[in-house]
Amino acid sequence: MKDDKKEVMGTEEPFEEQELIHTQDFESPKVLYQRLINKVKEYHPSDDISMIEKAYNIANNAHKGQLRKSGEPYIIHPLCVALILADLELDKETIVGGLLHDVVEDTIMTEEDITREFSAEIALIVSGVTKLGQLSYSKDKVEIQAENLRKMFLAMAKDIRVILIKLADRLHNMRTLKYMTPAKQKEKARETMDIYAPIAQRLGISKIKIELDDLSLRYLEPEVYYDLARQINLKRSERQAFVDAIVEEVSQHMAQSGIKAQVNGRVKHFFSIYKKMVNQDKTLDEIYDLFAVRIIVDTVKDCYAALGIIHEMYKPIPGRFKDYIAMPKQNMYQSLHTTLIGPNGQPFEIQIRTFDMHRTAEYGIAAHWKYKEDPNAKNVEDSEEAKLTWLRQILEWQTDMSDNKEFMSLLKNDLNLFADSVYCFTPAGDVKNLPTGSTPIDFAYSIHSAVGNKMVGARVNGKLVNIDYVIKNGDRVEVLTSANSKGPSRDWLNIVKSTQAKNKINQWFKTEFKEENIIRGKDMLNRYCKAKEIILSNLLKPEFMEKVIRKYGFKDWDAVNAAVGHGGLKEGQVINKLLEEYQKKQRKEMTDKQLLTQMTEMKQKPSAAVQPHKKGSKSGIIVKGIDDVAVRFSKCCNPVPGDEIVGFITRGRGVSIHRTDCVNMLHLSEIERQRLIDAEWQDSTADGQGGLYKAELNVYVHDGVGVLIQIAQVFSERDINVTAMSSRSGKNNTATINISFDIGGKYALNKIIDKLRSLDCVYDIARTTG
């Protein structure tokens, strides 16, 4: 604990980049290492630092020759990560983990090497961080991000220090983000704002959360960020004088009342101000609590005594007092908040807390690593358990959710909901903290799943209310249950706000109706395949099914069907994986000779995974007398009804339809030409009644002002949907305009071509091919 003193913290220059970004890039490794050792010795003066020295030497050697995007030695990054962890006053093992966090991923060192050199504990921490990054980004980014985060939460469950290192890693990467491409800057900033800053808030680490928010805003909304910095800077001296006067006056009154207090003032961080401006649709001048004064005292009793003194000094604004000491936030944040009218009618906020509360507010769960070493510390385990309740809930529901995109959606929702909470009471007087907008159903499931499942109604403040009643701060909520209740309704999923309640409701349907879910799942898969013209029986081979079971972590195929039945897994996820495996096997096993044999068979019957229709063809194509064989229109020549066409048998993807004049068809090898199959338009389609088809033209023009407008008007006057248009300049003041659009058939297409040819600026037109 620092000596009691008055500190004024509003002196930062918010507009200058170096103050916010904490540039560490250009310091030498030796200087950074010495800073690290000095910092660790500050809070662990008696500790042996040889393990940290050893970790630094190993990391330095392992990363030798590696450079970051900035051009600086790579060892700078792990050193800066370790410094951030030291600022949180974490234990030696975490500092060592920070120094080594990239060696397994980026060097030849292995987990076994770390275990041998240090311990299994440190190897586990490094392994947890390393696994977060070992994923290829060749797949859907949302899917990859979800898998990455699933791994992170599992690693956190083994050792919470994994996420502390990951947050420090992300913070330093954000501080040095200026060396990345603009696209990568926005991608990392968005992920930081959506995931990592809220996680830091969940764990109560406001020191990191605030900086991650501000840095994310800087790269996502640079104009907003710098404009806000400029506006704040304009009245800097005026605001500083106001804060200084408040701090001085409050300090004097605290001293006169015999309360030892540390008083400081600060302008609120950028992202906080920006959120208020957006949410309240106000300008900066209209945000009245732009800065806050903080009073830090020794005891809870002093907190309330200081509050009384402050309310005597300044007039409080009604409805703006919050007691987070009596009712802590979910991340165990505690403080008294009150907004007051200061000199000249200027509103400002005061926060009052103890030194222990202040440390928890700044460092969150990280604070407990130091407190644990104090034999006199009280309630540390309980406080840490409360913080990690959220993590356990995520681990519970992520195992039941196989859809990665749904997992990402619910995770972001859960993280965002945490920012705004409502406080209510049980009949026994216990406090419940729920997301804003929560209903009695959310309240019931926050008590226990059994209470929610048996709920039949609710009373709020002694009065019966509807189950979709929105709970307000201070409400006393009583859940009415019945042993005869048939359980939750699926409609509840549209009413509840919390992820916890949604997960428990889904879990009930999954468990209670397992057999029904299996039957429903089978039926849903059959109907899906029928709609997509796929024969499911050809895909339900043991080796294909095993791939699906392993991918989504199920016990057997019944569990897959049940997951589809209760909505935990989409039909498309199952069928697409089965098709992928089916097609892999087909391509692997099929030689050219076998393909030609299959081609001969296809002229007699449909392909293995395709179900023909007896009447008509949804595709509008008849292949060798067979309606609705699996066909796709080639993008190289974009055939439309009226064109002469031919089919080309592909490997595992049915028949590709081309125009007969397609360049790709004219240049086939002799063996490839044997894969051609006769195709024709269905009569109704050939008559232009088969819907719209994609067409693409290259229009060659004499370049000049208004040419694009003339071309576009030809399409707009005929209500033709243009899906893409681009142009490129040529020699001698010419240009080529490429246009993609939807058209009914060749007759309509020729009309368009004739109209375009009539324009003076057009000297030639050609349909794209090959």
Q: What are phi and psi of 321, to 5 degrees?
A: -105, 130
- Residue 250 clears pLDDT 60, i.e. is over it: yes
Q: What are phi and psi of 409, to 5 degrees?
A: -60, -45
User: Given phi > 0 = left and psi -120 to 50 = alpha, else beta, which region is 89?
Assistant: left
d(CA 693, CA 558): 41
d(CA 474, CA 678): 75
Instruction: Give mean pLDDT, residues 673-686.
Output: 76
Q: Hey, what are 334's tokens?
A: 């505690």
Active-site option among 53, 106, 194, 680: 106
Torsion of CA 597, 600, 604, 609, to 10 degrees: 50
Ranking 362-371, 388-397, 604-613 by mean pLDDT, the lowest is 604-613
Ranking 158-162, 418-422, 495-499, 723-727 by mean pLDDT, the lowest is 418-422
DSSP-derived 3-state class of residue 553: coil
- The pLDDT, as a whole number, for residue 170 is 93
382 is a catalytic site residue: no
The band of 396, judged by pLDDT with boundaries at 50, 70 and 90, is low
* DSSP H or E segment with residue 518: helix 514-531
Better-predicted residue by pLDDT, 626 or 542: 542
Q: What is the mean pLDDT of the chain?
A: 79
Tens-digit pLDDT profile for residues 203-225 = 888 889 989 999 999 998 888 88
pTM of the model: 0.55
The band of 310, judged by pLDDT with boundaries at 50, 70 and 90, is very high
* DSSP H or E segment with residue 30: helix 29-43
The band of 289, judged by pLDDT with boundaries at 50, 70 and 90, is low
Q: What are phi and psi of 726, to 5 degrees?
A: -145, 160
- The pLDDT, as a whole number, for residue 294 is 93
- Residue 264 clears pLDDT 80, i.e. is over it: yes
Largest pairwise CA distance in the chain: 101
Tens-digit pLDDT profile for residues 17-70 = 333 434 444 578 899 999 999 999 888 887 788 999 999 999 998 888 888 877
Active-site option among 87, 105, 191, 680: 105
53 is a catalytic site residue: no
- The pLDDT, as a whole number, for residue 397 is 47
d(CA 60, CA 51): 14
- The pLDDT, as a whole number, for residue 7 is 33
Beta-bridge partner residues of 641: 643
477-481, strands of its sheet edge to edge: 463-465, 455-460, 477-481
Instruction: Give mean pLDDT, residues 720-734.
Output: 83
- Residue 603 clears pLDDT 90, i.e. is over it: no
3-state SS track over 632-697: EECCCCCCCECECEEEEECCCCCEEEEECCCHHHHCCCHHHHCCEEEEEECHHHHHHHCCCEEEEE
Domains and CATH numbers, the chain: 29-176 (1.10.3210.10), 231-370 (3.30.460.10), 396-487 (3.10.20.30), 508-586 (no CATH), 625-681 (no CATH), 693-767 (3.30.70.260)
d(CA 271, CA 20): 12
DSSP-derived 3-state class of residue 317: strand
Q: Hey, what are 290's tokens?
A: 């732009």
The band of 105, judged by pLDDT with boundaries at 50, 70 and 90, is confident
Most confident of 60-69, 86-95, 512-521: 86-95
Give CA 113 to chain center in angstroms: 34
Most confident of 65-79, 196-210, 324-338, 444-458: 444-458
* DSSP H or E segment with residue 481: strand 477-481
- Residue 595 clears pLDDT 60, i.e. is over it: no
- Residue 330 clears pLDDT 80, i.e. is over it: no
The amino acid sitting at 476 is R
- The pLDDT, as a whole number, for residue 147 is 61
- The pLDDT, as a whole number, for residue 35 is 92
CA distances to 28, 156, 200 from 211, rounded to whole Å, are: 24, 22, 10
Most confident of 457-466, 472-481, 552-561, 573-582: 457-466
CB atoms within 10 A of CB 104: 23
- The pLDDT, as a whole number, for residue 205 is 85
CA distances to 146, 226, 377 from 371, rounded to whole Å, are: 34, 39, 6
Q: Determine contact, residues 284/231, Cβ cutoff 8 Å.
A: yes
- The pLDDT, as a whole number, for residue 420 is 61
- The pLDDT, as a whole number, for residue 332 is 77
Name residues whose C-beta falls within 8 Å of residue 573's C-beta, 6 or more positions apart in sequence. 402, 403, 552
Q: Determine contact, residues 563/402, Cβ cutoff 8 Å.
A: yes
Q: Determine contact, residues 662/696, Cβ cutoff 8 Å.
A: no
- Residue 467 clears pLDDT 50, i.e. is over it: yes
